[in-house]
Amino acid sequence: MYKHILVPVAFDHAYDGYNPLDVARRLSGPDTRISLLHVMEEIPAYAISYLPIDYRNESREAIRTELSARLEGVPNADAWVVDGHAGRTILDWAEEHGADLIVMASHHPGLGDYLLGSTAARVVRHAQCAVHVMR
């Protein structure tokens, strides 16, 4: 069994009826820690002026609330919302926090990233731990 499972969560696209958190729970033991992680990427400068001043703080709190709701009833679980570039930040976070498995979903790709989504592909190529990708 794994000791610490990281489940990156993106809210920008839908997945076809599967839930990475369910997979993480199936792969966990009684002492396994499960961490849900959402990476908030930078908003381009040209777009920031069109958003309310407190948009980032309100978004962060809404995301934290949603992640916490998903963890309801999951023992040894926590939610994290961090800033950064998704692929690099997931890798850095996993290494810094001792994750030994990353369970993540990959969107249905277009021609630019035919086999995996670009974030999932980056994590698979560069992770220092096991990665379980769901498609």
- The 3-state DSSP class for residue 1 equals coil
pLDDT per position as a tens digit, 9-58:
988 756 556 789 999 999 999 999 999 999 999 888 788 888 888 988 99
Alpha carbon distance 116, 111 (integer Å): 10
Show the tokens assigned to 2: 């794994």
Alpha carbon distance 31, 34 (integer Å): 10
User: What is the CATH number for 82?
Assistant: 3.40.50.620
pLDDT per position as a tens digit, 72-102:
999 999 999 999 999 999 999 999 999 999 9
With the C-alpha atoms ordered 116, 119, 125, 129, is the resulting torsion angle positive or negative? negative
Task: Give the number of domains in the chain.
Answer: 1
Rounded to two decimals, the pTM is 0.88
Give the domain extent around 116.
Answer: 2-134
**Residue given tokens 């670009």 in the structure block:** 118
